[in-house]
Structure 1
Amino acid sequence: MTQAAGFYNPETAEYFDPKETHRVAIVSGGNSGIGWYTVLHLYLHGYAVYVVGRNESRVKKAIKDIEDEARRRTSSYDSFQKKTRHLGSMEYIHFDCCDLESVERCATAFLSKERRLHVLINNAGVMGIPFEITKDGYEIQYQVNLVAPFLFTLNLLPALKAAKSDAVPRVLTLSSVGHNAAYRYFDPSDHINHFPLMLYTWIRYGNAKCAAIQFMKKFAANYPGILAFSIHPGVIGETELYSWWDKLPFLGSIFHTARNVAGYFIGVSSEEGSLATLRAAMDQSLGEDDSGSYLITGGSIIEPSRVALNKDNIDTTWNRNIEMLREKGFTLLL
C-alpha cells in the first residue's frame, strides 16, 4: 500500500513465526471495511486471528479473499522477507452484537480453543441507523457499539490476563469523531428516542461512541498490564455503514453527495483507516503511560471531547453497564 505521511506503517511491527511464537488476536466485524484490512495485516504478521461475526458465509468468504490477497502481497517479498515473514492462520466463530447470549457463547467457544489472547479488537459497529430496541432491551446503536464489546471483553479477561506471561496484551474498541455528538452524559437506560428523529439518530450514535472511549479509559485504569485504546479510524468513503442513509428518498442523494465531497477532501481508504487500529495493536513504542488513549486516523494520539474525559461520566458508564448486565443475568469476569 502507499503510505501516507505521518500514518503508522505496519511493516515496522514485529513479524512472528507461528511455529515458534503463538500470538492470538480476535477481530469482530473483520469481514469487510477496515476490519478486513486489520485481519489481513495481523495474518501477514503471523497471528492466529479469530474473525468473529454474524454471517458465517460472509466471514468465510472474507477469510478466503484475505488469503488470496496475502498470497499476492507475499509474492513480491524479497528473499530476506520470505525467510523472516510468515503467515498466520484465520478461523471463524459466530458472534452477533445484537444478541448478548451469542456474545457470551463466542467468548466461551474461544476460551475452549485458546488459553491466551494477545490482541482483542472490538471493531464491529453500526452508524446512524433508525431507532430500534434489541431483544436484550438496549437501543441498538448503544448495544452494538458499546454493550456487546463491553460484555465480550470482560468475558475474555482470563485469556487476556494469561497472555501477560509472554507479551503485553491489548484491547481496542472502535470509537469515532462522531463521539462529539454526545453533548452531555446519557444514562445507558435512556433510549434517547426523541424528536427530531434525524438529529437524535446521530446523538444516539455519538453517545455510544463516547461511551466506548470511556470504557477503554476505565478498563485501562482497572487492569494495568493490559493496554487499552479507543480508535477513530477516519472518514471512510468505501463503507457499508452509510447504506441506510444512502437509500433514503430525496435525502439519500443529498447525503450521498455530501459524504462524497467530504471523502474527497478528508477521506481515507479502508486500508488507511485500519492503520490507527494496527498501531494500537502492534506498535511496541506504546506503553502503560499511553493506555486509555484515543487514537485517530493514521495512529496519532489526541484528546477526545470533554464529555468523554469527564471522570464522573467514565465511572458512571462503567458502573451502570455492569449493573444493567448483571440485572439481565449475564456473568462478568471482573
Structure 2
Amino acid sequence: MPDKSKFFDPASAPYYDPVVDRKVALITGGNTGIGWYTVLHLYLHGYIVYLAGRTESKVLQAFEDIKKEAETRINKTGEKHPLGQLHYIRIDLLDLSTVPKAVEQFLSQEKKLDVLINNAGIMGVPHEITKDGYELQYQVNFVAHFLLTLQLIPTLLKDAETSKEPPRIVVLSSIGHNFSYKHFKPEQHKLNTFPNAVFTWVRYGIAKTAEIQFVKELSIKYPQILSIAVHPGIILGTELYNHWRQIPVIKYPANAFFSLSDKCIGVSNEEGSLASLRAAMDPSLTPEKDNGEYIATGGVVDKPSKVAANRKYAEETWNWNIEELKKRGFEV
C-alpha cells in the first residue's frame, strides 16, 4: 500500500482571487475520475478552469456537481476562499483537427495560460487506427496532447519572465509505461501482434512512455516552463478497466485481478488526483530543480523506466512526431 502520510495536501497550496490574480488552467477530460477532483481543487483554489472535452452536456453536468461539492466542503470547514470559474472548451482527441480549434476557442477568451494539464486518456482497448492514421491509444493519450501543448506553448511562455510562478505543464502518464518492455521506435506504435489481449498493454505502454519522453524534452527545450509527468496511482474502480470487464471469458479473471489490485494498492479518485495537483499547484516545485520529474501516487517523486528516461529515445519520439504532424498540415 502507498504511504499516505506522504501524500500531497492540496490545502497547503496557495489560494487565489480570480478577480485579482486570474490564474488560468486548462485540463483535458476532467468531467470524470481523477480529472473531476483535479478540477474541483483548482476551482476551490480560485483558478479559472477551462475543461476541454468532447461532450458538452457531460462537462456542464460535471460543473454543476463540482460547484455543489465545493459549497459543501466550504460549509463543512468554514474556511472562506474565493472560488474560481469553470468554462467548457470542445475538443475530440480522436480527431486532431479539433485541437487547433480548441486552442483558437481558448485564445478568444484568454490572453495567458498558467497551467496545462493533459489529463484525458484511454487504456487497454482493442487495436484500432484513427482517421488521422495513428493507433488509438497513441493518439488519444499522446499525439493529441502533444499537438495541443505545442500550440499552447507561446501562450504559456507569454508571462513566464515576469510572473512570480512559472507556467506549468502536467502530463498524466502511468506506471503502465513499463509495459513497453523495450525501446520501440515511434513508428512501431501501431504494433498489432497476436494475442491482442497481451499486446494492447504493450501499445498502452508505448503511448505512456512517449508521454514521459515528451516531458523530458519539454524540460530541455523550454526550461522556463515547469513540465512534470505524473502517475496517479492504481485507481479504485476506474472506468479505464471497463473494456476488460465486459469481454466474455476474460471478464471473470479480469474482474478478479482488478479487484485484488484495488484492495492491495488502489487509491480513490481523489487520492489519484493528488499527484496532478502537486505538479500543478505546489509552490515548492521549481523549473530549476524539478523540471522533467516523474511524480507518482500522492505526489511522491519517483523514477520512470530506463527506456522512458533515455534522452536519445525521447529526442527520437519528439522529432518523429513533429514531422508526422507537419505531414498532416499542423503548425508545430
The verdict on a shared fold, with TM-score over 0.5 as the criterion, is yes
- Structure 2 portions without partners, runs of 5+: none
1:117-171 CA distance string (max 9 Å, x none): 0000000000000000001000000001110110000011121001313231000
Residue pair 1:24, 1:48 contacting (<8 A) in 2 also: yes
Q: How does 1:297-316 map to 2 (within 5 A)?
A: 297-316=297-316
- Report deviation, 1:311: 1.5
- Report deviation, 1:237: 1.8
| Larger deviation, residues 68-77 vs 291-300 | 68-77
The 2-side partners of 1:12 and 1:41 are apart by 12
Residue 201 of structure 1: aligned partner: 200
Q: Under a length normalisation based on structure 1, what TM-score does the superposition of the two structures give?
A: 0.96
The 2-side partners of 1:243 and 1:31 are apart by 17
Residue 175 of structure 1: aligned partner: 173
Q: Select which of 158, 175, 194 maps to 1:162.
A: 158
Matched, 1:56 2:52: no
1:48-106 CA distance string (max 9 Å, x none): 0001101111111001100110011111233xx32xx1100000010111100111110
The 2-side partners of 1:4 and 1:42 are apart by 21
The 1-side partners of 2:306 and 2:221 are apart by 21
1:3-43 CA distance string (max 9 Å, x none): 93110000000000112110000110100000000000000
- Report deviation, 1:185: 2.1
Residue 134 of structure 1: aligned partner: 130
Letter in 1 for 2:110: E
Which 4+ stretches in 1 moved above 6 angstroms? Answer: none
The 1-side partners of 2:159 and 2:10 are apart by 22
Q: For 1:27, what is the secondary structure of its paired residue?
A: strand
The 2-side partners of 1:134 and 1:188 are apart by 16
Residue pair 2:31, 2:62 contacting (<8 A) in 1 also: yes
The 1-side partners of 2:198 and 2:311 are apart by 27
- Report deviation, 1:108: 1.2
The 2-side partners of 1:23 and 1:163 are apart by 12
Letter in 1 for 2:69: E
- Report deviation, 1:312: 1.2
Residue 284 of structure 1: aligned partner: 283
Residue 271 of structure 1: aligned partner: 270
1:229-281 CA distance string (max 9 Å, x none): 11000000221111110001021121011111111010000000000000000
The CA RMSD over aligned residues, in Å, is 1.1
Residue pair 2:237, 2:262 contacting (<8 A) in 1 also: no
The 1-side partners of 2:94 and 2:159 are apart by 28
- Report deviation, 1:197: 1.1
Matched, 1:221 2:217: no
- Report deviation, 1:184: 1.9
Q: How does 1:223-262 map to 2 (within 5 A)?
A: 223-262=222-261
Matched, 1:40 2:43: no
Q: For 1:113, what is the secondary structure of its paired residue?
A: coil
Residue pair 2:216, 2:311 contacting (<8 A) in 1 also: no
Cα 1:163–1:256 shift into 2, 3 Å: farther
Residue pair 2:186, 2:316 contacting (<8 A) in 1 also: no
Letter in 1 for 2:157: K
- Report deviation, 1:189: 2.5
The 2-side partners of 1:174 and 1:18 are apart by 26
Residue 65 of structure 1: aligned partner: 65
The 2-side partners of 1:55 and 1:280 are apart by 27
- Report deviation, 1:188: 2.6
Letter in 2 for 1:329: G
The 2-side partners of 1:26 and 1:11 are apart by 20
Residue pair 1:111, 1:156 contacting (<8 A) in 2 also: no
Residue pair 2:218, 2:292 contacting (<8 A) in 1 also: yes
- Structure 1 portions without partners, runs of 5+: none
Number of residue equivalences = 326
Matched, 1:25 2:21: no
The 1-side partners of 2:125 and 2:212 are apart by 20
| Larger deviation, residues 163-172 vs 313-322 | 163-172
The 1-side partners of 2:56 and 2:108 are apart by 19
Matched, 1:144 2:140: yes
Q: How does 1:69-108 map to 2 (within 5 A)?
A: 69-78=69-78, 81-82=79-80, 85-108=81-104
Residue 185 of structure 1: aligned partner: 183
- Report deviation, 1:115: 0.9
- Report deviation, 1:109: 0.8
Residue pair 2:9, 2:274 contacting (<8 A) in 1 also: yes
Letter in 2 for 1:26: L
The 2-side partners of 1:213 and 1:317 are apart by 10
